[in-house]
């Protein structure tokens, strides 16, 4: 995932008492080469919004329930609001079609527990 600087304003780092925000994604890549173009754009964009990849593909096991249909991705943000700001940023909205055209995915934005 995955350029010119974002026109939107990345969220400021919250105080230590604010719960972090996460984007959880299940991604089944259907067209790997074009999907790499999405990654090349989104990876630096995530960083500009204060995000960091915690899980990006890698090995999984499913002790309960249905196994994911693809790779798992977890991106941590300074807050729930920062995760939402990233997803709703015009720059990210402009590249979503590149992901959806080349992968089947499910994204969830979740708030972590308070520190």
Give per-residue pLDDT as tens, 88-106: 999 999 999 999 999 999 9
Instruction: Answer whether 43's CB lies under 8 Å from 2's CB.
Output: yes
Q: Is the pLDDT of residue 112 over 70?
A: yes
The pTM of the whole model exceeds 0.95? no
CATH number of 21-59+69-111: 3.30.70.100
Q: Which helix (H) or strand (E) holds 91?
A: helix 90-93
Residues 6+ apart with CB under 8 A from 43: 1, 2, 53
Across residues 40-68, what is the average pLDDT?
95
pLDDT at position 13 is 53
Structure tokens at 15: 């105080």
Across residues 55-82, what is the average pLDDT?
95
Domain boundaries, the chain: 21-59+69-111
Query: CA nearest 72: which of 15, 17, 12, 29?
Result: 29
Across residues 16-38, what is the average pLDDT?
94
DSSP state of 6: P
Residue range 1-12, pLDDT digits in tens: 333 334 444 555
């Amino acid at each position: 995932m995955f350029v010119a600087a974002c026109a939107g304003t990345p969220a400021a780092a919250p105080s230590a008492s604010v719960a972090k925000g996460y984007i959880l994604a299940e991604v089944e890549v259907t067209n790997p080469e074009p999907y790499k173009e999405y990654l090349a754009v989104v990876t630096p964009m995530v960083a500009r919004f204060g995000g960091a990849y915690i899980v990006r593909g890698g090995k999984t096991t499913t002790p309960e329930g249905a196994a994911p249909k693809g790779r798992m991705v977890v991106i941590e943000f300074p807050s729930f609001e920062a995760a939402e700001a990233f997803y709703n940023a015009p720059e990210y909205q402009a590249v979503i079609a590149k992901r959806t055209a080349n992968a089947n995915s499910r994204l969830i934005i979740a708030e972590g527990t308070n520190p």
